[in-house]
Amino acid sequence: METVTVTAPPLERAPAEPDTPSSAGRRGPSIRRRADRSAYLFLLPWFVGLLFTLVPFGASFYLAFTDYNLINPPQWIGLDNFVEMLNDRYLRQALQVTFTYTFVSVPLSLLAALGVALALNKGIKGLRYYRAVYYLPSLLGGSVAIVMLWRYIFGNDGIINVVLGFFGIQGPSWVSDPQYALSVLIILHIWTFGSPMVIFLAGLRQIPLMYYEAASIDGASRWRQFRSITLPLLSPIIFFNLVLALIGSLQTFTQGYIMSGGTGGPSGSTLFYNLYLYIEGFQRFDMGYASALAWLLLVIVALFTAANFLMSRFWVFYDN
């Protein structure tokens, strides 16, 4: 029997379409241009603000090398303002007060913020209410009204001494005694822990629960879980809050000004660096020396921030 082999005809290929740019490719440059215009539009306020920053920045740098009292034209005196700082006992007092305030209040406020954030992260009812209540002091703590209220509470006839009087204790005038005046401001700073607390709480919500579940199965205690899971994964948030709190504390002004009536008293116990700078510039009208003080503060803040970033490589954990 003869076998018939049927061969299928070759398939005809469809003619290739000419290489024309895709629609997405045609729209690409125009989309990018629109995106660039939008970006520059959003950045425009920043560029305008930069002008208002750079001009005083440059003027302050020039005045730091001059003798200027707002009435007579600036007189170039070279490095005399910076040399004068070496023998300025009020500057040493301002640095001592500012560093004491910073090194005591910043760790305590961060610990308070972390502790409350851990408590709120337990899934308690009314979390939004508690979060708002704890956050409110951070909005009002730097205001004049709150500092005035704080001054009344810790005054000679304030609420604190009234409460102590019920127990037969005669309390001092906390804001008028050089031994306690700075401590009152440190307590006020710790009380305003709401802002870092909210950031801590957001960071805690980002830690996967499976890590804690695995640790519980392995028999890890809560303290071990906190030390081996929470702290390492929360370390970038801790570092962020630390840098912000450190910079803010070094620039403290309102609390010291209101509490002391703008003098830094009693006996210089609340003479913060920025308050001393204000006194030199706007009470003694020595703008040249005040500008030099401002540049010294910039260097101090930069050094502390740089030191924090250098040390962060030893304790801040990034999972990437």
- Indicate the residue type of 289: Y
Q: Which residues 6+ apart lie within 8 Å of 59 measured at CB?
A: none
Q: How many CA atoms lie within 13 A of 311 on its CB side?
A: 11
Backbone angles phi, psi at 317, to 5 degrees: -110, 125
- Structure confidence at residue 4 (pLDDT): 41
Q: Which residues 6+ apart lie within 8 Å of 267 measured at CB?
A: 178
Name the helix (H) or strand (E) containing 233: helix 231-250
Would residue 112 be called left, alpha or beta, if left means φ above 0 and alpha means ψ between -120 and 50 degrees? alpha
Tens of pLDDT, residues 65-82: 999 988 889 999 999 999
Beta bridge partners of 67: 75
Per-residue pLDDT of the chain (320 residues; tens, 9 = 90+): 344 444 444 444 445 445 455 555 556 677 788 888 888 888 888 888 888 888 888 999 999 999 998 888 999 999 999 999 999 999 999 999 999 999 999 999 999 999 989 988 887 776 777 777 777 776 666 667 777 777 778 877 888 888 888 888 888 888 888 888 899 889 888 888 888 888 998 999 889 999 999 999 999 899 999 999 999 999 999 999 999 999 999 999 988 888 888 888 888 899 999 999 999 999 999 999 999 999 999 999 999 999 999 999 898 988 65
Q: What domains does the chain contain, in order, with CATH numbers?
A: 35-76 (no CATH), 85-313 (1.10.3720.10)
Would you call 76 helix, strand, or coil by DSSP?
strand
Q: Which residues 6+ apart lie within 8 Å of 256 measured at CB?
A: 97, 185, 264, 270, 271, 272, 274, 275
Are 217 and 211 within 8 A, CB to CB? no
Tens of pLDDT, residues 177-232: 888 889 988 988 888 888 888 899 899 988 999 999 999 999 989 999 999 999 99
